[in-house]
Structure 1
Amino acid sequence: MLAKPNAKHVRSLVNFFEQGAKPESRDGFGVEIEHLPVHNSDDTAVTYGEANGIETLMLRLREYYDESREYWQDDQLVGLARDGIGISLEPGGQIETSIGVVRNSSELGAIYEQFRREIDPILDELGFRLVNYGYQPKSCALDIPINPKRRYAAMNEYLGHIGQYGPCMMRASASTQVSIDYANEQDAIEKLRLGSAVGPIINYFFRNTPFFEGEVNHMPLRRQRMWNFLDCQRTNLIPGLYEDGFGWEDYAVGVLGTPLMFADLTHTPEAAGLPVERKEFAAFRETADDVYPDRELNDYEVAHILSTHFNDVRLKNFIEMRHWDSLPIERAQRLMEIVGALFYDPARLAQLADYFDGIGEADVFAAKATLNAHGDAAEPYGNSLEFWREFLGLEGVMADVPGDAKWSEVFQA
């Protein structure tokens, strides 16, 4: 039997969750959209280190962002930020915009449009563009080098060996994520459960991965499948989520009992005098107990530990829903509206909770499997996709497709 994690560390995570609760006002959203950079000439992936590549783009963008919030690693610029938006790099050079807190889709659109007004002229000069697909349209994952973050080098070594899709997820995939507030522990657990249950269905209607490894993609929830089979310790559903009595402490114990994969001691006072290689290093066997001091953890340490888990829906000091492929801004706005209608309207949330009362982990696994296997004919949780279109308010939502092809034709190919 595994030893229970350090009680001070467990309490630190629970405190972090408690501090994130918003009992009075629950109407905020955070939206992250990852973009795939591709050459205009042949649609292949643009890399960080190539001439006029991602590094050049980041350096050209600096003037629009707060100099005090730049993120450099080994003299290479890998992150930018200002009020309302942050720009970061995913492992394969994907450009991620983190936008929030916003209250409605118009606010999201305005911030994103400003980002595009600044970046698009630079992209035109450099000869590449940003596309919103769940996977690179032309390049294969192993042809794309990892960008210069020590965290990603460790992830590449670990996830590249432990799961089937590690290189694919890291180097060539891109997502849209929507974060929401919670009022208290009960509200958070309910939203984690319901978000995990309906996420694959909503994902089906917003699916946007027409290509995979240079070929037409025949699997509607391709990105979802990559995450499902990546690392059973830290992806897919939260272990135990649907068990009676599951709470914040259970979540904290599960996270803390898993190897970190990558340790970050850059904000740990006790490590201040250590060389950088001893502050940031691969931790394939070490848990937080092995790495961090025997004391309550600070917010940076807690946030890092939580960031090493990639469940479909994960808990930080907000709830992050991670199911969806990268989407153009108009579709991301529509997705945000649907998430808000389902999770911020008390009547709709109660309706969802009543419908899914009694479901378990196996039911969610089955829903994912049937959507991938049967496409438009799937009946997740025993109901047709037309039922779910109406029940979840998805009228008018259609998946993007490559060119003039229809997904139903792709399924039959």
Structure 2
Amino acid sequence: MADTASPITGKDQLVAFHAAGARAKDDWRIGTEHEKFVFRLDDLSPPPFDGPQGIEALLKGMTRFGWQPVEENGRVIALLRDGASVTLEPAGQFELSGAQLENIHQTCKETNQHLAEVKQVGDELGIGFLGMGFQPKWARADMPWMPKGRYKIMREYMPKVGTLGLDMMTRTCTVQTNLDFSDEADMVKKFRVSLALQPVATALFADSPFTEGKPNGYLSYRSHIWTDTDPDRTGMLDFVFEDGFGFERYVDYLLDVPMYFAYRDKRYIDCAGLSFRDFLAGKLAPLPGELPTLADWSDHMTTAFPEVRLKKYLEMRGADGGPWRRLCALPALWVGLLYDNEALDAAWDLVKDFSLAERHALRDGVPKHGLKLPFRGGSVRDLAIETLKISAQGLKNRRRLNRHGDDEALFLHPLMEIALADETPAERKLALYHGVWNGDIDQVFRQFAY
């Protein structure tokens, strides 16, 4: 295991850090993360951190299930158990970062257990949980802030570089999956396939059509928000498709992402906008003469927000949060595409001739138009159906069966239903809003809470 506290003396150590994530295929695992909005059952408002109905009370209530509390300045701000964690996004969005599991059956079991635990504690506290991509009712000013030092720094910096960064922090929820690679060439192929197809996931999972109780003109407003958050740390990473891309090129990208903070003596030091390259040279103004550690690099990696992110694994980041069936479907989609060689080859054949302009047109158009976005004489729906067929075959090839003899392809059924109907989750909610809900956004909480 790498020493995270020793000083980094050169870029080669950073490249080696990422390269060390390579695993033999038999050791590949699946990590799934999903966020959800917390709301008070009586008035649907987002609870603060403090108080009998607060987020800290929820975290403390979860310790009955064997979760170990993590504190910052004497406050419980996270939980740990068996390789998994529960953490808080800036406005109290409640996130499970799941353990490294072998198959989607285990992932779905983990998801079900987590949602059962939070519901039991939430019922006692009078709070509920909603899976969507964007907070449908409450204004940015209505959202609470969690007492985490890094969020204070980000909160002050975000408005300097984009207009929607604070919305990203306080009013969005996502589901993502983290997947392994065997070596640099495998990482490159998986990165390119998943980056090119990320808009397909965005379309299939699009579920954020409301802002402050009214339609906002988008199907995935959460995805749109990233286009005006911070151009230095978001986007489609065109260089991933260039010849020679590998670990070193990604490290160069991260070195050019401005810093937010450094963590020293249990406190966050404001480094917002400063250069990690200067840090690497011992010239970071707030820490003169100090060199970064791998722990600093690990922190810095989490402050880049591209559509696909490389750590010691690849993170798929394009999907809105949603109900439990789609929480299981997201990792199934990507495992089917990336963890079977036949499927990965087929997926690469599907996207390898996409032009830069086409990749950007998909990324920029899907948040508003979803599956109906025109693409190559058809639509994104056609691309989604082909992608799902490849993924399903990849899952069948894996032959990871449950006790009933079903393979993991069963978890793609909700996505295929969406694609065949040519109707995103957002469009279904909009139809309800304009129909039987009669414009009452409160019905979202009543009908779609976990």
Q: Same fold (TM over 0.5)?
A: yes
> What CA distance in whole angstroms lies between the structure 1 residues aligned with 2:26 and 2:220?
34
Q: How does 1:76-155 map to 2 (within 5 A)?
A: 76-155=75-154
Partner of 1:12: 13
User: Which has the larger displacement, 280-289 or 224-233?
Assistant: 280-289
* 2:204 and 2:371 in contact (8 A); partners too: no
Which deviations, in whole Å up to 9, do the C-alpha atoms of 1:118-139 show, x marking residues without a partner? 3222211211111101111211
Shift of 1:11: 1.6
Q: Write the letter of the residue equivalent to 1:396.
A: E
Partner of 2:240: 241
Which deviations, in whole Å up to 9, do the C-alpha atoms of 1:339-397 show, x marking residues without a partner? 11111121121112123224344322111223244444312355423422321115223
Q: How does 1:308-327 map to 2 (within 5 A)?
A: 308-327=303-322
> What CA distance in whole angstroms lies between the structure 2 residues aligned with 1:263 and 1:382?
49
SS at match of 1:101: coil
Partner of 2:273: 285
TM-score (norm 2): 0.81
> What CA distance in whole angstroms lies between the structure 1 residues aligned with 2:364 and 2:432?
17
In structure 2, the CA distance between the partners of 1:233 and 1:260, relative to structure 1 (3 Å rule), is: same
SS at match of 2:176: strand
How many residues are treated as equivalent by the alignment?
A: 393
Partner of 1:353: 348
In structure 2, the CA distance between the partners of 1:373 and 1:382, relative to structure 1 (3 Å rule), is: farther
Q: How does 1:134-283 map to 2 (within 5 A)?
A: 134-238=133-237, 240-265=239-264, 276-277=266-267, 280-283=268-271
Which deviations, in whole Å up to 9, do the C-alpha atoms of 1:276-317 show, x marking residues without a partner? 55xx22212322244467698644222112111111100000
In structure 2, the CA distance between the partners of 1:58 and 1:117, relative to structure 1 (3 Å rule), is: same
Shift of 1:220: 1.4
Partner of 1:366: 361
* 2:202 and 2:366 in contact (8 A); partners too: no
In structure 2, the CA distance between the partners of 1:263 and 1:296, relative to structure 1 (3 Å rule), is: closer
In structure 2, the CA distance between the partners of 1:303 and 1:404, relative to structure 1 (3 Å rule), is: closer
Partner of 1:42: 43
Partner of 2:337: 342
Q: Write the letter of the residue equivalent to 2:250.
A: Y
Partner of 2:295: 300
Partner of 1:3: none
* 2:47 and 2:144 in contact (8 A); partners too: no
> What CA distance in whole angstroms lies between the structure 2 residues aligned with 1:357 and 1:126?
51
Q: Which runs of 5+ in 1 are unaligned?
A: 1-5, 267-275
Shift of 1:251: 0.9
Q: Write the letter of the residue equivalent to 2:207.
A: N
Partner of 2:58: 57
> What CA distance in whole angstroms lies between the structure 1 residues aligned with 2:20 and 2:110?
27
> What CA distance in whole angstroms lies between the structure 1 residues aligned with 2:329 and 2:58?
29
In structure 2, the CA distance between the partners of 1:405 and 1:39, relative to structure 1 (3 Å rule), is: same
SS at match of 2:425: coil
Q: Does 2:422 align with 1:395?
A: no
Q: Does 2:50 align with 1:25?
A: no
Which deviations, in whole Å up to 9, do the C-alpha atoms of 1:138-166 show, x marking residues without a partner? 11122213210110001111113311111
* 2:91 and 2:145 in contact (8 A); partners too: yes
In structure 2, the CA distance between the partners of 1:60 and 1:250, relative to structure 1 (3 Å rule), is: same
In structure 2, the CA distance between the partners of 1:27 and 1:202, relative to structure 1 (3 Å rule), is: same
Shift of 1:35: 0.9
SS at match of 2:13: helix
SS at match of 2:322: coil
> What CA distance in whole angstroms lies between the structure 2 residues aligned with 1:369 and 1:285?
26
Q: Write the letter of the residue equivalent to 2:53.
A: N
* 2:279 and 2:292 in contact (8 A); partners too: no
Which deviations, in whole Å up to 9, do the C-alpha atoms of 1:389-408 show, x marking residues without a partner? 32111522363248764399
Q: Does 2:358 align with 1:333?
A: no
SS at match of 1:203: helix
SS at match of 1:102: coil
Q: Write the letter of the residue equivalent to 1:56.
A: A
* 1:28 and 1:101 in contact (8 A); partners too: yes
> What CA distance in whole angstroms lies between the structure 1 residues aligned with 2:167 and 2:81?
31
In structure 2, the CA distance between the partners of 1:344 and 1:407, relative to structure 1 (3 Å rule), is: farther
* 1:264 and 1:301 in contact (8 A); partners too: yes
SS at match of 1:371: helix
What is the identity percentage for the equivalent residue pairs of Structure 1 and Structure 2? 26
> What CA distance in whole angstroms lies between the structure 2 residues aligned with 1:382 and 1:183?
36
Partner of 1:270: none
Shift of 1:263: 1.7
In structure 2, the CA distance between the partners of 1:101 and 1:264, relative to structure 1 (3 Å rule), is: same
Which deviations, in whole Å up to 9, do the C-alpha atoms of 1:190-245 show, x marking residues without a partner? 21221111111121112111322332232012111111221111111225222221
In structure 2, the CA distance between the partners of 1:51 and 1:103, relative to structure 1 (3 Å rule), is: same
SS at match of 2:318: strand
> What CA distance in whole angstroms lies between the structure 1 residues aligned with 2:76 and 2:25?
39
In structure 2, the CA distance between the partners of 1:157 and 1:380, relative to structure 1 (3 Å rule), is: farther
In structure 2, the CA distance between the partners of 1:78 and 1:331, relative to structure 1 (3 Å rule), is: same
In structure 2, the CA distance between the partners of 1:227 and 1:324, relative to structure 1 (3 Å rule), is: same
